[in-house]
C-alpha cells in the first residue's frame, strides 16, 4: 500500500470520487463526513494515517479548527486543506492552523494526487534520514530540536508544522548560501518544475514571523533579489 489516507469531506459525491481515485493510486482510504467522525477515526487508528485531506467546510467544526486541534494535541500528520474560496485570507488561515498545503476548489485531481505524493515522499525521506544528522539547531534567540519538534524563541515555546521544520532544516544544512525558490520547492516540497513558487514566499513569511525580532527587517531569513533566500544563523 502506498500509504493510508483520511479524507474528511461531507459532500458525499466528492468524498467518493476522491476515495476511488486515491485507491486507484494504491492508497488505503477512509472517509469521514464530519470533524467529529474524523476525530473518532484518528483515535481508533492510533493516528495511523500518513496524510489527511481536510475540507474546510464541514457540518460541525470547520477544517481550520480541526487542524489546529490536531496540532495542539501534538499530532503532526501531514494535512492538505481543501478550501472553497481562493481568498488569500483563507489560505493564510489554513497555513496558520498548521496545514502543510492547501488546494482551492475546484481543483484538478492530478494536482491533488501530485501533492499527496509529495507529502508522503517527504515523510518517507524524513524517516530514512534517521538520527545520523544533527537534529538540534540554535540561532539568534531560537532553539530547535527537529526530532522532538520542540522549538523555543527567547525561551517561549512555539509550534511549527512539519513543513516549516523541513524548510528550516534545509536552510540549516545550507547556511549562508543563496537558495532559489525552485531548489527549495524541489528539495523541501519534493516538487520539481512545479512553477508555483509563491508557496515558498508564504513559508518564508511564516519563518520570519516565528523567528525574526522584526519580521519587516529580517536578519536570519534574507531575500536575495532575483535569486531566492539565504539563511544567516548569526
Ligand atoms: Ca464540505
Using CB atoms within 10 A of its CB, is residue 78 exposed (0-12), middle (13-18) or buried (19+)? buried
Distance from Cα 84 to the centre of ligand 1, integer Å: 8
- pLDDT tens series, the chain, 234 aa: 789 999 999 999 999 999 999 999 999 999 999 999 999 898 777 768 999 999 999 999 999 999 988 887 777 788 999 987 766 677 777 777 888 888 888 889 999 999 898 888 876 666 554 444 568 899 999 999 888 888 999 889 998 888 889 899 999 999 999 999 989 988 887 776 666 667 889 899 999 999 999 999 999 999 999 999 999 998
Tell which residue, 20, 161, 149, 158, has the closest CA to residue 78: 161
Distance from Cα 5 to the centre of ligand 1, integer Å: 17
Domain 3-128: give its CATH superfamily. Response regulator (3.40.50.2300)
CATH code for 133-231? 1.10.10.10
How far apart are the C-alpha atoms of 147 and 111, rounded to whole Å? 30
Query: Percentage of the chain with pLDDT > 70?
Result: 90
Distance from Cα 63 to the centre of ligand 1, integer Å: 9
Tell which residue, 219, 160, 169, has the closest CA to residue 189: 169
Residues 16-33 have pLDDT tens digits of 999 999 999 999 999 999
Task: List the shell of residues around ion ligand 1, using CB closer than 5 Å.
Answer: 10, 55, 57
Using CB atoms within 10 A of its CB, is residue 116 exposed (0-12), middle (13-18) or buried (19+)? buried
| In the block, residue with C-alpha cell 533579489 | 225
Distance from Cα 94 to the centre of ligand 1, integer Å: 15
In the chain, residues under CATH classification 1.10.10.10 are: 133-231
pLDDT at 131: 40
In the chain, residues under CATH classification 3.40.50.2300 are: 3-128
User: pTM score > 0.85 for this model?
Assistant: no
Amino acid at each position: 500500500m502506498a500509504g493510508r489516507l483520511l479524507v474528511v469531506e461531507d459532500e458525499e459525491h466528492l468524498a467518493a470520487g476522491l476515495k476511488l481515485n486515491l485507491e486507484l493510486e494504491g492508497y488505503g482510504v477512509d472517509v469521514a463526513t464530519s470533524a467529529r467522525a474524523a476525530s473518532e477515526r484518528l483515535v481508533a487508528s492510533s493516528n495511523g494515517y500518513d496524510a489527511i485531506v481536510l475540507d474546510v467546510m464541514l457540518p460541525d467544526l470547520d477544517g481550520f479548527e480541526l487542524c489546529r486541534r490536531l496540532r495542539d494535541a501534538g499530532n503532526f500528520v501531514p494535512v492538505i486543506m481543501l478550501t472553497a474560496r481562493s481568498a488569500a485570507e483563507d489560505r493564510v488561515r489554513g497555513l496558520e492552523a498548521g496545514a502543510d498545503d492547501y488546494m482551492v476548489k475546484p481543483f484538478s485531481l492530478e494536482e491533488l494526487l501530485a501533492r499527496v505524493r509529495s507529502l508522503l515522499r517527504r515523510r518517507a525521506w524524513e524517516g530514512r534520514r534517521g538520527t545520523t544528522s544533527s537534529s538540534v539547531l540554535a540561532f539568534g534567540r531560537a532553539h530547535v530540536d527537529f526530532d522532538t519538534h520542540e522549538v523555543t524563541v527567547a525561551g517561549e515555546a512555539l509550534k511549527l508544522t512539519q513543513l516549516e521544520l523541513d524548510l528550516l532544516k534545509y536552510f540549516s544544512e545550507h547556511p549562508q548560501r543563496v537558495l532559489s525558490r525552485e531548489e527549495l520547492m524541489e528539495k523541501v516540497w519534493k516538487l520539481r518544475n512545479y512553477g508555483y513558487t509563491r508557496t515558498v514566499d508564504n513559508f518564508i513569511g511564516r519563518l520570519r514571523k516565528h523567528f525574526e525580532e522584526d519580521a519587516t527587517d529580517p536578519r536570519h531569513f534574507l531575500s536575495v533579489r532575483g535569486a531566492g533566500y539565504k539563511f544567516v544563523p548569526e
